[in-house]
Amino acid sequence: MNKTQLTESVRRRARELGFEGCGFSKAGFLEDEARRLENWLQEGKHGSMKWMENHFDKRVDPTKLVPGAKSVVSVLCSYHQPELADRHAADEEHPKISKYALGEDYHFVLKDKLRALFDFTKELNGGLEGRVFVDSAPVMDKAWAQKSGLGWIGKHTNLLNRSEGSWFFLGEMIVDAEFDYDAPTTDHCGSCTRCIDACPTDAITEPYVVDGSKCISYFTIELRDEIPREYHDKLGNWIFGCDICQDVCPWNRKAASGTEERLHARKPLLGNDLSYWEELGLMEFRELFRKNPVKRTKYEGLKRNIRAVRENCRT
């Protein structure tokens, strides 16, 4: 089987597995991204996320992360539910969880699919060495997805796709096989600044630059200390993550519905009032968020977030 046949077969199989996009790029050093990342870290825009300083060489060069790697195969998987989007975005009464965290933990869902894609590729190729990744190692997934033609990085620094908007997860296979590589897409943000204008904490400091230490998602997920009091009124009613910059993006009005039911919202996580969340016990937390991303913030972290937004929720 030649490279073209292998590429098209893997792309077709990715679609069959439920990925809305699959792109191919040549593995190598990300020179521009390395420079930007270094500056971003030096300016402290990663806040307390000190882990982002680790493995810098591997983060900007997958051939150091996976010896012998020749290619990065990027995939995207939508979690979009159009029927939920407008209602969820407009809800100012109830504490809210970011839409990406309303279904099953994407790490499990995408890894299951990627392992199946890896096995398929290995069989077609007569052998394959490499690894699969879903936001679990120093891989610059958005940069590789952009290079493989799956979209462009918007002014809010999320990857945007013309048909899927930004409501999707990314994953990769970094492997020693060679493919026909895709070309990057062009930027289609134009003069729009809606994401910048809408951010209540001014975390998008300029187009294509986010100060992670000011982001609502950082405060409610990554930060382990108390959320600074001066930011409480800017959190709105977000108790885990934030969708504001994506909710206002015009490209998300065009986004197609995701087909993976495991990523669709669990009804018990929608529309609960403040008293429900304040009274949530530890055992209930464990059951409610079993195989769910909210576990990342832990019980005490979620309780901290609920206290911080209490005065912002309409009762």
Please answer whether residues 131 and 138 qualify as being in contact, where contact means their C-beta atoms are separated by less than 8 angstroms.
no
pLDDT, tens digit only, all 315 positions of the chain? 899 999 999 999 999 999 999 999 999 999 999 999 999 999 999 999 998 999 999 999 999 999 999 999 999 999 999 988 788 888 888 999 999 999 999 999 999 999 999 999 999 999 999 999 999 889 999 999 999 999 999 999 999 999 999 999 999 999 999 999 999 999 999 999 999 999 999 999 999 999 999 999 999 999 999 999 999 999 999 999 999 999 999 999 989 999 999 999 999 999 899 999 999 999 999 999 999 999 999 999 999 999 999 998 865
Please answer whether residues 234 and 201 qualify as being in contact, where contact means their C-beta atoms are separated by less than 8 angstroms.
yes
Cα–Cα distance for residue pair 113/173, rounded to 1 Å: 11
Which residues are the active-site residues?
A: 135
Cα–Cα distance for residue pair 71/172, rounded to 1 Å: 10
Question: Running DSSP on this structure, what letter comes out for residue 102?
Answer: S
Give the 3-state secondary structure of residue 212: helix
State the pairing for strand pair 96-97/238-240.
Answer: parallel
Distances from the Cα of 121 to the Cαs of 106, 149, 300, in angstroms? 22, 20, 43
Q: Which of 276, 252, 291, 275 is nearest to 85 (CA)?
A: 252
If you count them, how many residues does the chain have? 315
The structural domains of the chain, with segments of one domain joined by +, span: 3-175, 194-254+267-312
* Type of residue found at 274: L
Question: Running DSSP on this structure, what letter comes out for residue 161?
Answer: B
pTM reported for the whole predicted model: 0.95
Cα–Cα distance for residue pair 100/241, rounded to 1 Å: 9
- Those residues whose C-beta lies under 8 Å from the C-beta of residue 60, and which sit 6 or more positions away, are 29, 30, 33, 34, 37, 140
* Type of residue found at 257: S
Stretch (H or E) spanning 63: helix 62-65
